Each structure stands twice: as structure tokens, then as C-alpha cells.
Chains A and B, each alone.
Chain A
């Protein structure tokens, strides 16, 4: 079974802190994604990566950056956390390449910024 893990289920940070959210997949997937999930807004794509060291902006990249140094690991970075970044963050991965591939999701990290 595909397994996507995220470093924390719950995280509480203070405004202005630098925050790292880690995601690891064990299926040698090419593509990895970071989404933000908010009630009434569904899932919105922040960034995605289709190869090591490659990244592309999604729909809401402002205030975020990403890093993919190894194929299995994709990190989301909040350079200076703000209260409006309080949300559920979901990581996903897929084999990639055709748009038809199933995305496999991690359990999510619920981030609260005080």
C-alpha cells in the first residue's frame, strides 16, 4: 500500500515563526503536492513538484515556499507564519505524468498560528 506520512498531526506556532511541514512517501512517486483545506473552500493547491529540485506554484503560493531535495520528501515552509495561515495542510503524491493518476494523501497537519 502507498503510504504518505506527515511529520505532525497538530502544530501550534506563533506569528512570525518559521514553520516546516514535512511529507514523506514510500512509493517512489514522481509527483508531490501540498494543499490547504479550509471549511467551505475545499482543497486549494499551494505548490507541487514533479521531480527532485523541481517545483511549481499552485493557486495560492503566497506566503509559502517548498523544498524537494530527495524524491520521497517534500517540505512546505512558512517563512513567517501569520494567523491567516491557520488551516489543515494536506500532502499528496502520485506516479505522475498523465493527469489520470490517483493522488494519495497523507493524514494532514492541522496548523494553528497564534
Chain B
């Protein structure tokens, strides 16, 4: 069964550094999402992406965040200048034209 894959599984970075989290959605899916889960808290929506543009973003998704689909397969989340409070598990998800979201296993980002 097709899967959403995320790399790396763990990322440690220093405060102020840029990080790029990578996701390969399921190949025929049209809608792409990033969610995050700070340790011990609920899963929060960050951004949705459709037709090569952001369709919706949350208040968390400020100017430090950006998303890109640079080719036909990857979907990336960039954080320009990481802060301690960006430490979280980041989940990528994709879906076709149904309600079913397919999630990756997440990237655990630790900002020191």
C-alpha cells in the first residue's frame, strides 16, 4: 500500500539555523498538509497546499515558515530561523479527492 514518507526521522538543529523537513506524498494525491505536535500537546494544523499554492494556513505558520513542492514528488517545510519553541514532531499528510488523510511517521525536530 502506498505510504507517505518523511525524512529525516530525527533532526537536531541549533537555534537560529534553517531546517528543511522533507515529505514524499502518495503519488496521485492532490492535497498536502503539514501538522505539528509539541510534546504532550495536541496535533495542530500548520498549512495546506493545493495546485502549487497554499490554500490555508494557521496562525502558527508565520513568515518563518514556508512550503514548497519543488518537483513532482517532494513536499517540503522550511523553517528559516528556528526557535526553541519549534521543537516538535512534524507530520506530513496527503490525500486524494476523498476524506482520507494519509500521514507520514513524522520528523522529530529538536532545537537546542
Partners in one complex: no
B-binding residues in A (CB < 8 A):
none
